[in-house]
Structure 1
Amino acid sequence: MGDFGLTFGWRTALLLTLSVQMLAFAVALSTQDVNRTANRLLAAFLLVATGVVTPYTIGFAGAYDAWKGLTFAPFALPLFLAPLLYGYTYALIEGRLPARWRWHLAPGFAQLGYMAIAFLLPFDTKMAWADVVDGPWVSPVFSIGVLLGLVAYSAAALRLLRRFRAGLADERSDDERYAARWLGRILAAMLVTTVFWAGWQGWHALSGFDYFEFFGLHMAVGVIGVLLGVEGWRHAGLRFRRGPVTVRFSDPEDARGSAAAEPDWPAIAADYAGRTREAGWWREPELSLPRLARYLGTNTGRLSRAINTGLGVNFSVFVNGLRAEAVAQALTARPSADLLDLAFEMGFASKASFNRAFLARYGTAPSRYRQEARSRVSDHEFEHAAPNLRRADA
């Protein structure tokens, strides 16, 4: 170990804390049976993220000064980060790996092979290679590949999420539960981090390398990894994959009608809405377009067309509007009732979806509506009490 000793400073402590958390989430996610493919890809991402911060975790403790032979140890393989993050998003939504998945991982395996070979070189050759070849030529190429990969894959994952959300509202009443907004925020954070990373790389290419200035960047990687682990674990058992929505007519009468004349969609929609309201199917928290179509004895294509064309809204707005109406009626009768209890009783899956649906339906927040309901009750009680008070005064 020579004249160098290890020091356990605050930088090492912070990075190590993040690494331990990422590893814990990786182990937990790898044991999940639901969304198995997605959860294992997320576990792999967390392992790679831990590896990316490891050289700085041990480096700030003086490990590379104490053991120079650790140079090129294949801890950090950041070329895996971008495809694994995209693969997790894709598998979460589609329930399977992206097409030609092995090719997505090829740059990461190339980096792993290069690092392993360089690590096994004789010590003097290794150190000369690091100074003459790796530093000036190879590392910059890898860094550019990491930056381009993170930008391209993060943007592709965000586009995939947007397309997924656009279809959710036409099929599910609890679409907000599956919108994965947490994943969108993390992907956006990864893009922002990448921009700062690119700025750092450009600055140090001009001004020189300062090891300690990269602490903030690796803290950001660790924080993103922990946040992704927390949210991924929270949603590990939620089945995100949608079934295909049938858009064709399924019976001869509908087919003849579609060829001869456009059906009276407002009348059909009014019939469907009335039957749905009367039967109380809207109370089911996980009510979906296929399930409601079965209840109504029709197909998803006809039901979706009736709601979209006849009512001018999507499936989620239609069902949550019925739920909001039920909450409003309950508040009129019981203005002191708890809002969240009423929301869950009427089928809402979350407070956010309840507030959004109620505001869209009535143009005011549920709490404000309840205050107005209480005022109406108080005014009504006063009107009934006023004649008695006048008689008592007389």
Structure 2
Amino acid sequence: MEGADLYLGWRTALLGLATLQILLLAVALLVETGNRVANRTLAALLAVLAGLLIPYAIGFAGFYDAFRWLTFAPFAIPLAVGPLLYGYAASLADGRLPPRWRAHLAPPVLQLAWFALCFLLPADLKWDWYTGGHRTFVAPLFQAMEIVSLAAYAFALRGVLRRQRTRLADQRSDDDRFSARWLGRLQAAILIGLVTQTGFWLWSLITGGIDFFQETGLYLALAALGLYLGVAGWRHGALPVPLPAPLPPVVAEPPTSSPPPDWAVVATDVDHRVREAGWWREPDLTLPRLSRLLGTNTGRLSRALNLGLGVNFSTFVNGLRAEGVAGALRADPDADLLDLAFDMGFASKASFNRAFKSRFGMAPSQYRRSVSDHDFADPEAKLRRVAL
């Protein structure tokens, strides 16, 4: 009722503190100078997540009992979460929002307009509508739409992640530095949120409805998710866009009478020249950069590696780096592994360990122990492993 006492309990304290921290992280992302499109989109997402927490942070304190006019205040717009997550993932990969992205914002804009119109109703009518028709018909519809939206955008994010991993492996040798792993964690976070929300929704359906306090776990989980996205997104905020936005497909040229290149021969020449010149030691070597060094174009070099050697660009370059580390270990088994890895061009310990094991079938430390064995058989003599 109007004039009810306010109460600052542990629920309000936790959710209020989380909301403040999420908003501060959103501000930090707005001033980040890296991938500005992605950072601003994530800042908008964090603001939406903070808005989802506000009704519960103030509700547990008794604000809605003390101030009934706050009913329908348009703090929470959950239908905006999915589109903003998708926009953030796409802009993190391409440096721009996906095509026709504004159309994805239509449902959350309509949801915002609905709450704003209901908020403007006279106080008595507003409360009757909130406890009557809205709670019976509109709120369940919104909840179903929110779950479907999150599921659809989680699936769409899977496509963004798959495309990004493929493009990075095809064009960069330092692909581990960029956003594919973070996008994978982002997708996992969305799925956790989706499962949590669906679980509470099913609980409400089975039991005939759950009250404000029974939803505490859902909103504490939402607060944790918002803090994770904010902190991890801020840590990745300085990453540049690793690749330009994908170009439209190239129309195939009409067939000519000249025979196609022997890609195995072309690839052998590329492999020899790259080894001799030592270009593979450049930490940020890319497909366009290597193409210029070889005096060719990216399409021809990519086909040579894929068709001639059966590997993508990242596997090719990091395989040469792994061979460089192996050669250095044979010369000096006591050398520091990480120093060797960075000297050979690896960007991280994780990428070094993965590439080395892919190339030689064993971890770098195991290889170092093996070179002291009198019966050691050098894997260099074997055909390069394929690890697409």
Match of 1:24 in 2: 24
Matched position secondary structure for 2:38 = helix
1:267 matched residue in structure 2 = 265
Report deviation, 1:246: 11
1:115 corresponding residue in structure 2: 115
In structure 2, how many angstroms separate the alpha carbons of the residues matched to 1:268 and 1:284?
Answer: 22
Amino acid at match of 1:222: A
Please give the TM-score of this superposition, normalised by the length of structure 1. 0.88
Partner in structure 1 of residue 382 of structure 2: none
User: 1:74 — aligned with what?
Assistant: 74
Comparing 16-25 with 42-51, which one deviates more in the overlay?
16-25
Distance 1:281 1:259 in 2: 35
What residue identity is the alignment partner of 2:264? Answer: P
What is the distance in 1 between the residues matched to 2:76 and 2:254? Answer: 63
Deviations 1:111-158 (A, max 9, x none): 112212222222211111111111101111111111111111121011
Q: Does the 8 Å CA contact 1:15/1:53 hold for their aligned counterparts?
A: yes
RMSD (Å), alpha carbons: 2.4
Partner of 1:147: 147
Q: Residue 362 in 1 paired to residue 363 in 2?
A: no
Q: For 1:59, give the aligned amino acid.
A: G
Task: Structure 1: state its 5+ residue gaps.
Answer: 249-254, 378-394
Q: In the TM superposition, what whole-angstrom CA distance separates every residue of 1:201-259 from its partner, at most 9, and x where no partner exists?
A: 232134222222211211222222222222221222222352458998xxxxxx99974
- Distance (Å, rounded) in 2 between the aligned partners of 1:206 and 1:257: 64
In the alignment of these two chains, the number of paired residues is 371
CA, structure 1 residues 50+259, in 2 after alignment: closer, same or farther (shift >3 Å)? Answer: farther
Q: Which residue identity lines up with residue 265 of structure 2 in the other structure? A: A
Query: What is the alpha-carbon distance in structure 2 between the residues aligned to residue 137 and residue 202 of structure 1?
Result: 17
1:383 alignment counterpart: none
Residue 385 of structure 2 is matched in structure 1 by: none
Q: Secondary structure at the match of 1:238?
A: coil
For residue 297 of structure 2, what is the aligned residue in structure 1? 299
Residue 376 of structure 1: CA displacement? 5.8
Distance in 1 of aligned mates of 2:285 and 2:242? 15
- Is 1:232 matched up with 2:230? no
Answer yes or no: is the 8 Å Cα contact 1:23–1:46 preserved in 2.
Answer: yes
Structure 2 unaligned segments of length 5 or more: list them.
Answer: 376-388
d(CA) in 2 for partners of 1:78, 1:247? 36
Q: Deviations 1:62-102 (Å, cap 9, x if unpaired)?
A: 22222222211111111111111111111222222222222
- Is 1:329 matched up with 2:327? yes
CA drift at 1:186: 2.4
SS at match of 2:76: coil
Q: Deviation per CA, 1:148-173, whole angstroms, max 9, x where unpaired?
A: 11111121011111122122211111
Secondary structure of the equivalent of 1:215?
Answer: helix
Which moves more between the two structures, 282-291 or 184-193? 184-193
CA 1:152–1:118: 2 relative to 1, 3 Å: same
Deviations 1:247-279 (A, max 9, x none): 98xxxxxx9997422323222212211211121
- The match for 1:63 is 63
Match of 1:279 in 2: 277
- Give the conservation status (yes or no) of the 8 Å contact 2:193–2:225: no
Does the Cα contact within 8 Å between 2:3 and 2:67 map onto a contact in 1?
no
C-alpha contact (below 8 Å) 1:245/1:290 kept by paired residues: no
Please give the alpha-carbon distance, in whole angstroms, between the structure 1 residues aligned to 2:140 and 2:249.
51
Between 1:138-147 and 1:185-194, the stretch displaced more is 185-194
Question: As a proportion of its length, which structure holds more helix?
Answer: 1
Are the equivalent residues in 1 in contact too, given 2:2–2:65 (CA < 8 A)?
Answer: no
Map of 1:215 onto structure 2 = 216
Q: Is the Cα contact below 8 Å between 1:86 and 1:153 reproduced in 2? A: yes
Partner of 2:347: 349
How far residue 361 of structure 1 moved from its aligned partner, in angstroms, is 0.7
Q: Distance in 1 between matches of 2:146 and 2:351?
A: 38
Query: 2:203 and 2:340 mapped to 1: Cα distance?
Result: 56
Q: 1:246 to 1:183 in 2, by over 3 A?
A: closer
Q: Secondary structure at the match of 1:218?
A: helix
SS in 1 for 2:105: helix
- The code of the aligned residue for 2:127 comes to M
- The 1:93–1:334 alpha-carbon spacing in structure 2 relative to 1, beyond 3 Å, is same
Deviates more, 1:285-294 or 1:367-376: 367-376
* Residue pair 1:247, 1:301 contacting (<8 A) in 2 also: no
> In the TM superposition, what is the alpha-carbon distance from 1:374 to its structure 2 partner?
4.6
TM-score normalised to the size of structure 2? 0.89
SS of the residue corresponding to residue 98 of structure 2 reads coil
Partner amino acid for 1:97? L
- Secondary structure of the equivalent of 2:289? helix
Structure 1 residues 341 and 179: alpha-carbon distance in aligned structure 2, compared to 1, 3 A threshold: same
Cα drift, residue 366 of structure 1? 0.7
Q: 1:101 to 1:264 in 2, by over 3 A?
A: closer
Query: Identity over aligned residues, as a percent?
Result: 54
CA contact (8 A) 2:154 2:190 kept: yes
Larger mean Cα displacement after TM superposition, 333-342 or 77-86: 333-342
Map 1:71-110; keep pairs closer than 5 Å: 71-110=71-110
| Range moving further from structure 2, 170-179 or 361-370 | 170-179
